[in-house]
Amino acid sequence: MAVKRGLGRGLEALIPAAQGEESGLVYVRPDEVSSNPLQPRTSFDEEGLASLASSIATVGLLQPITVRPDPAGGYTLIAGERRLRAARVAGLTSIPALVRQGEDLSGLTEALVENLQRADLSPLEEAAAYRQLMEDFGLTHEEVGRRVGRSRASVTNALRLLQLPAAIQGMIERGELSAGHGRALLAIEDRPYMEHVAGRAVAEGWSVRQVEEAASLRRGAPSAGGRPRVREVRPAEVIELEQRLAEKLGTKVKVDYRGGRGSLHLRYGSLEELERIFRRLMS
């Protein structure tokens, strides 16, 4: 597959160069990078990886992995295991990597945060940067917001763009749709219809309000019983908890929110995986 750099205007400013380096950013082959032997996660949600791989194949790898040179040749991964795996699934032959030589990761975190505050990133690049801080350095939505000077809700809303299908992410990355369009589209549960609305919005120059109206009409369509179907908007706190549970348990998590009540759904693919989820819940 041809290289998809995925590095938009301003992202280079996000990459802090190590002392004595002109630039810490290089492009490496995924097969040159060995996994971090200290990686605490041993299981990755296959559906989530497939979704990320589809996004990477469409818009490229929006945030680099972090590696250190291996004396035996190649590189050893420091941070970005999920992105590396997804890039391999997507068939990328070259991906951006931030090369570090024994640097303390806490210093790297602060450097990334400092540059994120200054960088002119696209909505998807900004969302990917937030996710990088969460995945690689264990920060919560609230901690990311506090460090970059944003509210927890704004961080959560930015991250929601990464839930869009890869085709729609591509429309946003190319500037055909805005982040507001993307958030309005997320109200549509029917994915084919979501992509249909997105295509019409691009072709006909719809405003965000027009997309919201299309989503409202879909939600209000009569059901088999003749009553309108109205989906209650989930609070940002519920979305954050859902994402944090998925990260902790290493599996797909769905919170069915119905006001003060609801249900929690966990997905597993085998008895062994169910036992692993149980152990994590009890730990």
- In the sheet that 95-99 helps form, which strands lie side by side, from edge to edge? 25-28, 95-99, 65-69, 75-79, 33-34
Nearest to 148, CA basis, from 128, 133, 170: 133
Helices (H), the chain: 46-59, 81-90, 105-118, 123-137, 141-148, 152-160, 166-173, 179-185, 191-204, 208-219, 236-249, 271-282
Catalytic entry in 12, 32, 81, 110:
81
- 81 catalytic? Reply is yes
- As a whole number of angstroms, the distance between CA 33 and CA 44 comes to 18
Which tokens sit at 266? 């966990």
Residue 261 Cα to chain centre, angstroms = 28
Give the residue numbers annotated as catalytic, written as ranges. 81
